[in-house]
Amino acid sequence: MRPPGRPQRQLPGLGGGAPGAGAGAGAGAGRGGARPHKSGGPGSRGPGRRMRAAAAALCWLWGSLLAAGRSLPRLRLPHRELLSTNRSVLFFGHRGFLGFRSLYLDEYRDRLFVGGKDALYSLRLDRASTDTKEIYWPPLPGQTEECFRKGKDPGTDCANYIRLLHPYNRTHLLACGTGAFHPVCAFVYVGHRGEHAFSLDPATVESGRGRCPHEPDGAFASTVIGGELYAGLTADFLGRDPGIFRSTGTRSALRTEVDQRLLNDPKFVAAYLIPDNDDRDNDKAYFFFTEKVVEADGKEHAVVSRVARVCVNDAGGQRVLVNKWSTFNKARLVCSVPGPGGIDTHFDELEDVFLLRTRDGKSPEIYALFSTVSHVFRGSAVCVYRMADVREVFNGPFAHRESPLHQWAAYEGRVPYPRPGVCPSKTTNQPRRPYGTTKDFPDEVLHFARAHPLMHKPVRPRHRRPLLVKTDLQHRLRQLVADRVDAEDGQHDVLFLGTDAGSVLKVVVLQKQNSAVTEDIVLEELQVFKAPVPITQMEISVKRQTLYVGASLGVAQVRLHRCESYGTACAECCLARDPYCAWDGTACTRYVPSGKRRYVRHTSPVYQCLDQNLTVDDFEHVEEKVLYGMEHNSTFLECVPRSPQASVQWFVQRPPDEQRDEVKTDERVLQTERGLLFRQLHSRDAGVYYCKTLEHGFTQTVARTSLQVLRGEQLARASPRQREDERPPCPEPRLAVPAPKAWFKDILHLVSSADRQRVEEQCLRLWCGHRKGKLAKGKHALAGLDAGKKARTAKPQGERIRVPRQAAAT
């Protein structure tokens, strides 16, 4: 590929992998289980020891991990409500199905660039579904037919899915697609800021092998650094040649050696540039992935997560590792829950990585989402890593073992100079031994680097435990973005977690004071897509307070918060514990540091709403509803709290007693998630029922129902003994508009068939009397209005009706 203004370079070494290099690295190299491990180095334990460790860890798991991981969202917002409240905007492409694969958020140009099936799109950030531009980019003629002949699905595989979108320079994007299993790349002209240009340069189209995967959904990670593409992928049609490649620049292309010690069936997740210091020669590209490891017995294959790095100025070796990475190192990425006796329970499957950047750019915090699938439980965890800990591991001892049948141990021999893995820079140069490039490194250094790519110590998370653990979710977590929000009581991490069912969880993580223990609160569950499709990519704009969510169906633009949805009272705003929201004295609105209160850790409304003159009546005042029930039949009192986090209690007040007693449930009276069910109603059940919610010590009445029980003899006396007049007890008015349906007819199925007719007649009379009362009030009100109009329009005798001047003139 010839980039604008740059000479072309070939990509070497893209032939088939060596025998036994692994297969299927793209679409999923197997799933890791919740495998208990002893804390330590990269080695593995014997089968007997693993069995005993697993038994001990699982006994502890059920008592702590499962209990700690349960939490319900305070608000569940369905897809329709998100659209009706303008919380989200959707884009499905110009053909109804986007086939989404890639996303690039360009806040400099206020644009969102989207890659889909046979097309690229440019969307405005303020109006994601309008003012769009499209580049139609199907496979070349004949490639679709060839893809079909090779056994691929013509409907799902044999298309050009745009998998890569990166900024290349100030005016161009680099775009790559699968090209119906013939990867292709090109440059897209997007112009300068304010210039809404969007066109593909046909002269730059060329093969994308080694830059873009062949398959639409294979694991893939890439980044552009200094006009060069760094990509982790499988480079062949069959998916047997995994590697980390550098291409598209002015220098010679590089790749990893075909060696299972470097990469064994990897699944690439993310790639980032993270500089070490102000010296640009020390810049490194970091890759996050999972791979298989062979146990010491040579039989069992486990899945572990890795972080690897290479120097940006790596040029390969002169005689050894020619056109191969000479600075490649990797280390294990551990995310585990500490257990008794030093037994950790690991989450081994890396799903997504997000970098929370700092001002200097050298020490970002790494947020990683892990999952595990086992026969015992299914769960996810989020771990946070500090770059200081990552660098310490890469500067530590190398891992070494004599053969695949031996255990891993720290290498205790002499390490050659320059240390393998360091970048050639001013720090490596010596007066008599200048190393201006990796080609100047001694062969001894390169041989050691080839034989010892793995570091002995693993990278452990901050506080040596996960930030978040979820084990009771119905769906698997796939994507992660994070935001750090300032509040009056400190900073709080807000996580947005995309699921495989088209929803996003908004979670705030609270760090307990003077402790490493955290508390997580699921604030909202947003059903972004109506269909349960996996979310494959998310980007966050802190500047615009917006989340951009991608799935195969389309792209969604979602606001990070909608504070008014929590309620209209100070107490409701306080109980939400949303760090984006605060009570300003009149409403729950977006938090502004001056003039608003927001203490996320303190949740009591009494504590935060002291100056709102709240009384007990403010929380007890709720409209009373009247419900009639037939004795010996079933009836239902509905009460659905807005927050699933609140617990519900029922109280009853039976006349003439003013005392409220708690409702005792049994086989006859059942409390459900949506209310109170009487399976058989007794006359003593009559009374006023109060539904109260309890949340963080705060109690509020949310429903009050007056239950009146009708006995059989009452219905017998009320029923007409003679039916001389067949007209209904409440004649319908002769209007074109149909009369409203009696509400009680929807629940008559709860009444036994023997009493159903009498109950319906009695309810009709009650319904009719209620309507007649309303009509009478309406007639009196209309009569008063008519009298007022007549009084205002009456003219005194002798008054002349004036003709408008305009009319008189004509």
pLDDT, position 643: 79
Q: Are residues 569 and 547 in the same domain?
A: no
Query: For tokens 């390969």, what's the residue?
Result: 316
Across residues 13-18, what is the average pLDDT? Answer: 37
Alpha carbons 117 and 156: distance in angstroms, whole number: 9
Alpha carbons 120 and 101: distance in angstroms, whole number: 10
**If we measure between CA atoms, which residue out of 474, 142, 159, 428 comes closest to residue 311?**
428
Q: Are residues 574 and 661 in the same domain?
A: no
Alpha carbons 153 and 1: distance in angstroms, whole number: 29
Q: Are residues 328 and 255 in the same domain?
A: yes
31 in any annotated domain: no
Q: Are residues 406 and 279 in the same domain?
A: yes
83 has pLDDT over 90: yes
482 has pLDDT over 50: yes
254 in any annotated domain: yes
Sheet bearing 343-346, strands edge to edge: 36-38, 343-346, 336-338
Q: Which residues touch 465 (CB under 8 Å, ≥6 apart)?
A: 336, 337, 338, 516
Q: Are residues 489 and 445 in the same domain?
A: yes
pLDDT, position 45: 44
pLDDT, position 760: 62
Alpha carbons 630 and 750: distance in angstroms, whole number: 9
Q: 558-562 long-range contacts, Cβ below 8 Å, gap at least 24?
A: 558/82, 558/87, 558/88, 558/504, 558/526, 558/528, 559/86, 559/87, 559/88, 560/483, 560/494, 560/496, 560/506, 561/590, 562/85, 562/87
Q: Which of 722, 750, 778 is the last residue of a domain?
A: 750
pLDDT, position 753: 52
Domain extent for 89: 36-101+216-551
Across residues 522-529, what is the average pLDDT? Answer: 96
**If we measure between CA atoms, which residue out of 264, 185, 207, 125 comes closest to residue 558?**
125
pLDDT, position 90: 94
Of 12-16, 197-201, 359-363, which one has max mean pLDDT? 197-201
Q: Are residues 536 and 571 in the same domain?
A: no
Q: Are residues 519 and 567 in the same domain?
A: no
53 has pLDDT over 60: no
512 in any annotated domain: yes
Across residues 735-753, what is the average pLDDT? Answer: 48
240 in any annotated domain: yes
With a pLDDT cut of 70, the percent of the chain lying above it is 73
65 has pLDDT over 80: no
Domain tally, the chain: 3
Q: Which of 750, 771, 801 is the last residue of a domain?
A: 750
pTM of the entire structure? 0.77
518 has pLDDT over 90: no
* Torsion 589-590-591-595 (CA) sign: negative
650 in any annotated domain: yes
Greater confidence (148 vs 753) lies with 148
pLDDT, position 734: 46
Pick the range with the lowest mean pLDDT from 122-131, 173-182, 255-264, 599-608.
Answer: 599-608
pLDDT, position 605: 60
616 has pLDDT over 70: no
Q: Are residues 486 and 582 in the same domain?
A: no
**For residue 162, how many other CB atoms are within 10 A of its CB?**
30
Alpha carbons 477 and 380: distance in angstroms, whole number: 7
With a pLDDT cut of 90, the percent of the chain lying above it is 54
Residue-wise pLDDT tens digits, 775-797? 555 555 445 445 444 444 444 44
Q: Which of 731, 750, 769 is the last residue of a domain?
A: 750
What is the three-class DSSP state of 464?
Answer: helix
Q: Are residues 248 and 279 in the same domain?
A: yes
- Which pLDDT band holds residue 608 (cuts at 50, 70, 90)? low
Phi, psi of 194 (to 5 degrees): 85, -10
Across residues 449-457, what is the average pLDDT? Answer: 96
Name the region of 179 (left: φ>0; alpha: ψ -120 to 50; beta: rest).
Answer: left
pLDDT, position 18: 36
CATH number at residue 594: 3.30.1680.10
Q: Are residues 454 and 597 in the same domain?
A: no
Pairing of strands 378-386, 399-400: unpaired
CA 631 from centroid of its chain's CA atoms: 49
**If we measure between CA atoms, which residue out of 549, 533, 553 comes closest to residue 541?**
549
pLDDT, position 626: 93
Pairing of strands 635-638, 647-653: unpaired
pLDDT, position 800: 36
CB 565 within 8 A of CB 75: yes
pLDDT, position 155: 87
pLDDT, position 138: 95
Residue type, 646: A
161 in any annotated domain: no
- Which pLDDT band holds residue 620 (cuts at 50, 70, 90)? low
Of 77-81, 235-239, 515-519, 760-764, which one has max mean pLDDT? 77-81
CB 102 within 8 A of CB 120: no
Element at 559 (helix H, strand E): strand 555-559
194 has pLDDT over 90: no
291 has pLDDT over 70: yes
Across residues 703-725, what is the average pLDDT? Answer: 71
Q: Are residues 663 and 546 in the same domain?
A: no
CATH number at residue 366: 2.130.10.10
51 in any annotated domain: yes
735 has pLDDT over 50: no
Greater confidence (481 vs 621) lies with 481
Residue type, 438: T
CB 410 within 8 A of CB 500: no
Across residues 33-39, what is the average pLDDT? Answer: 39
pLDDT, position 768: 64
CATH number at residue 707: 2.60.40.10
pLDDT, position 796: 43
Q: Are residues 607 and 657 in the same domain?
A: no
Chain mean pLDDT for the chain:
81
Greater confidence (377 vs 754) lies with 377
Across residues 469-475, what is the average pLDDT? Answer: 85
86 in any annotated domain: yes
